Amino acid sequence: MSDCQTVHWYNQRAEDSENRIKELKLDFGGGTLPCSDFNANALYFLISALSYNLFALMRQLLPGELAQHRAITIRWRLYGMAAKVVKTGRQLFVKLAERHRMLLEQVLIALKAFEPPPI
């Protein structure tokens, strides 16, 4: 292996872990700790790490166009959809743009198809 290949391999090796740390710090509050008590900060960081891991599992269920995005992007694309809830008689309807409806349907289909591993 040449020196150039070694440097390239080394740079690729760390890319994923650095991005995961960046996501944990920026998107899940792992960058700043809330108080000066060590145990409280440890609990806070563990909750942040658990949140990130749950998000990483959820991201595997998302359609391909969203699967590689950070949490903040997915939050804006999924949770920030403009919609209107309309009640007529005994029925509720959610009206939203066609592109949002298609994305939401893809996500719901993926979530419904998910089968947890046997216990």
Q: Is the model more confident about 36 or about 13? A: 36
Predicted confidence (pLDDT) per residue in 57-66, tens digit: 888 888 777 7
The H-assigned helical ranges of the chain are 3-27, 38-59, 71-74, 98-113
Nearest to 58 by CA among 19, 20, 110, 119: 110
For tokens 């007529």, name the residue.
88
- Asked if residue 4 lies in contact with residue 10, where contact means CB atoms within 8 angstroms, the answer is no
Q: Rounded distance, CA 10 to CA 31, Å?
A: 25
Q: What is the pTM of this model?
A: 0.64
Give the per-residue pLDDT at 66: 78
